Amino acid sequence: MTEEEYDYNTIKEVGKASFEALQHAKSLVKAGKSMLSTAEEIEKFMKDKGFECAFPVNLSVNTWAAHYTPTADDKTVFTENDVVKVDIGARKGSYLGDCALTVDLGGKHSKLVEASEKALESAISMVKAGRKVCEIGREVENIAKEAGFNPIRNLGGHGIERDDLHASIFIPNYDNGDNTELEEGQVIAIETFITDGSGYVHDGDVVQIFQLHGPMTLRSQDSRKVLDYVEKAYSTNPFAMRWLIKEFKSEFTVKKAINEMYNTGGLEAYPVLIERTGGTVTQTEKEMIVEKDSCTVITK
């Protein structure tokens, strides 16, 4: 991407806001604290700073690797043994942030957390224009294996473009043989998922995050009102069901609209991702701009 195609000052601003929100989130995750209030406080923090949310706050616990955001009436609290993945991003216009960390409330999985953090930092040190993504994945896998763990093979990092959080390129957590090379000026997120399980995730039954996928025609007037709101408020960025319930004051109306949108094929759902063998998962993520000989991390 060129300066004409991408405002790098704005994406750096968004990256900084995302990182500040992530650090604030880290201070909020405590045993006995409500998941719902935690998510709402993090999202409010970003809005008070003048940013929207690039996607709903993810608070995925233990064997859940990603994509859990609280329900509108969530009564769940963090427990003293939870391993909590906090994945968040700020948004300014079409520019998107993305970063994550793991909070080990019980202190029993420190080596697993450390492996994810070490793998990320080592992967970042390899980033430069021309670097093959499989080489980055190989480095992540080597560090995970050296620590006695496995990388999550069907999750990884990604490119980030305007209004597109998962764009253009996939950056694996193992050597998948993909010789795609990073390009100068590209904005990417490297996302290391490490587990003491088998190293694969599958879709769970819980779905609270959605994203408009294409044009659709809805029969119900109430559903059309929900769709109009989503298009104006979130465009093609992910949104939470609880956000819509708060706006429309009716869980029935929102669920009916989501079902109708999904059945037309115009809505993408993001189910919670669960480690296949019940392993605990840790996650660490940073966003960066690829440069000729290195990169600039912007979520710092």
Question: What band does 214 get if pLDDT is binned at 50, 70 and 90?
Answer: confident
Q: Looking at residue 291, what DSSP letter applies? A: -
Residue 183's Cβ-count burial label (10 Å; 0-12, 13-18, 19+) is middle
Distance CA 34, CA 74 (A): 8
pLDDT per residue over 12-65, tens digit each?
A: 999 999 999 999 999 999 999 999 999 999 999 999 999 999 999 999 999 999
Confirm whether 64 is domain-assigned: yes
Positions marked catalytic: 87, 98, 158, 166, 191, 285
Domain that holds residue 231: 206-271
Amino acid 151: pLDDT: 98
Q: What are phi and psi of 273, to 5 degrees?
A: -100, 125
Confirm whether 178 is domain-assigned: yes
Shared-domain flag, residues 166 and 221: no
Q: Are 216 and 266 within 8 A, CB to CB? A: yes
Nearest to 100 by CA among 178, 21, 39: 21
Confirm whether 196 is domain-assigned: yes
The residue assigned the tokens 């420190």 is 110
Long-range contacts of 1-7 (CB under 8 A, 24+ apart): 1/161, 1/185, 1/186, 1/187, 2/185, 6/162, 6/185, 6/187, 7/95
Confirm whether 1 is domain-assigned: no
* CATH number, domain containing residue 252: 1.10.10.10
Shared-domain flag, residues 278 and 259: no
| Token pair listed for 136 | 């980055």
Shared-domain flag, residues 230 and 187: no
Shared-domain flag, residues 141 and 243: no
Would the pLDDT of 254 be above 70? yes
Shared-domain flag, residues 23 and 50: yes
Shared-domain flag, residues 239 and 148: no
What mean pLDDT value characterizes the chain?
Answer: 96
Distance CA 89, CA 70 (A): 16
Confirm whether 158 is domain-assigned: yes
Shared-domain flag, residues 231 and 155: no
Greater confidence, 2 or 33? 33
Shared-domain flag, residues 119 and 220: no
Residue 60 to residues 37, 102, 275, 277, Cα–Cα distance (Å): 15, 9, 11, 16
Would the pLDDT of 134 be above 90? yes
Q: Are 239 and 165 within 8 A, CB to CB? A: no
* CATH number, domain containing residue 167: 3.90.230.10
Residue 113 to residues 3, 46, 80, 100, 107, Cα–Cα distance (Å): 37, 26, 16, 12, 10
Q: What percent of the chain has pLDDT over 70?
A: 99
Residue 12 to residues 16, 90, 95, 249, Cα–Cα distance (Å): 6, 11, 9, 36
pLDDT per residue over 62-82, tens digit each?
A: 999 999 999 999 999 999 999
Shared-domain flag, residues 134 and 162: yes
Confirm whether 92 is domain-assigned: yes
**What is the arithmetic mean of pLDDT over 289-294?**
98
**What is the arithmetic mean of pLDDT over 214-237?**
95
Name the domain count of the chain. Answer: 2
Question: What band does 5 get if pLDDT is binned at 50, 70 and 90?
Answer: confident
Shared-domain flag, residues 181 and 73: yes
Amino acid 250: pLDDT: 97
Cα dihedral 180, 101, 280, 140 sign:
positive
Residue 31: which residues within 8 A CB-CB, separation 6 or more? 77, 78, 79, 80, 82, 105
Q: Are 172 and 153 within 8 A, CB to CB? A: yes
| Token pair listed for 238 | 């992910």
Shared-domain flag, residues 188 and 90: yes
For the entire predicted model, the pTM comes to 0.95
Confirm whether 160 is domain-assigned: yes
**What is the arithmetic mean of pLDDT over 142-164?**
97
Distance CA 136, CA 171 (A): 7
Render 246-287 in DSSP notation, one character per residue. Answer: HHHS-HHHHHHHHHHHHHTT-EEEEEEEEETT---EEEEEEE
Confirm whether 3 is domain-assigned: no
Distance CA 109, CA 114 (A): 9
Shared-domain flag, residues 280 and 182: yes
Q: Are 281 and 194 within 8 A, CB to CB? A: yes
